[in-house]
Amino acid sequence: MESDVNWHNARALLEWQLEMGVNENILDAPIDRFALDTSPYKTVKRETTNPGMAPKIDPVAIAQKMSQNASSLDELRSIIGAFEYCELKQGARNLVFSDGNPKASVMIVGEAPGREEDQRGKPFVGRAGQMLDKMFSAISLDRGAQDATKSIYITNVLPWRPPQNRDPDLEEIAMMFPFLQKHISMINPSVVIAMGNIACQALLSEKGISKLRGRILHRHNLDILPMYHPAYLLRNPSAKKHAWADLLTLKKKLG
């Protein structure tokens, strides 16, 4: 009998897998999906249907407590790495913490790592990252600069890549926010750039980047400038003129 698996069928099957999100076929180590089911955070979800069975775990409160223990950036990175309540950690290859000069006056907060960032453990190193570098070099800022006045510091709302680059959900944003707050307070920038809607959601509790962008807002004792995300600019080149206007606003603010 002739096999059903001819070249066309095999290709269609592979494409179907890609569409379903199977974009990695080998990881460095096997993942025991049954063991993942017993993660503390899953247990919390089950407990809510059985109130009174076990003490309720509050990942946000735990994150607040853990973040307070950090007294250096290295410590903060290790503490985030030890936080077990965000399921994204299970599927990520690497923790993506930051890049750039910690002494910079400009701190950029993006959304979450994508595929390249997850592989390399650094934020904004894919296509959107190249766009970001181009944008800031237009006002003479560069993540590699030693001179603090010419550099930037980059992090994300979430340190782990969401599967298939889906949007982070509100629960994930809320539980990782204490770490972001601590991170920002350690860098103590004069301006925080909220790159796109997810960063605006985390830092301003608002979405609607088209309305929010272009003005420096004052929240959490910070000056926050919302800007279009570079990935959005790649998809919508006509919005680049707004990004340029926002870069000039930033330049003016920095003097």
- Site residues for ligand URA per CB under 6 A: 110-114, 117, 123-124, 126, 128-129, 156, 231
- Least Å distance, CB 122 to ligand URA, is 8
| Rounded distance between C-alpha atoms, residue 204 and residue 195, angstroms | 12
Tell me whether residue 148 or residue 234 sits nearer to ligand URA (CB atom).
Answer: 234
Largest Cα–Cα distance of the chain, in whole Å?
77
- Stated as kind and residue range, the H or E segment containing 80 is helix 73-81
Alpha carbon 85 to its chain centroid, in Å, reads 16
Structure tokens at 138: 């237009």
- Least Å distance, CB 118 to ligand URA, is 9
Q: Are 202 and 170 in contact (CB under 8 A)?
A: no
Tell me whether residue 8 or residue 235 sits nearer to ligand URA (CB atom).
Answer: 235
Tell me whether residue 126 or residue 178 sits nearer to ligand URA (CB atom).
Answer: 126
- Least Å distance, CB 22 to ligand URA, is 21
- Least Å distance, CB 201 to ligand URA, is 12
- Least Å distance, CB 117 to ligand URA, is 4
| Rounded distance between C-alpha atoms, residue 196 and residue 207, angstroms | 9
Q: Are 205 and 233 in contact (CB under 8 A)?
A: no
- Least Å distance, CB 78 to ligand URA, is 20
- Stated as kind and residue range, the H or E segment containing 67 is helix 59-68
Tell me whether residue 62 or residue 91 sits nearer to ligand URA (CB atom).
Answer: 91
Tell me whether residue 41 or residue 93 sits nearer to ligand URA (CB atom).
Answer: 93
- Least Å distance, CB 35 to ligand URA, is 28
Instruction: Give residue number: closest CB to ligand URA.
Output: 110
3-class SS string, 35-56: HHCCCHHHHHHHHCCCCCCCCC
| Rounded distance between C-alpha atoms, residue 130 and residue 230, angstroms | 9
Q: Are 119 and 222 in contact (CB under 8 A)?
A: no
Task: Tell me phi and psi for residue 36, to 5 degrees.
Answer: -60, -35
Tell me whether residue 83 or residue 97 sits nearer to ligand URA (CB atom).
Answer: 97
CA within 13 Å, CB half, 216: 15
Tell me whether residue 111 or residue 246 sits nearer to ligand URA (CB atom).
Answer: 111
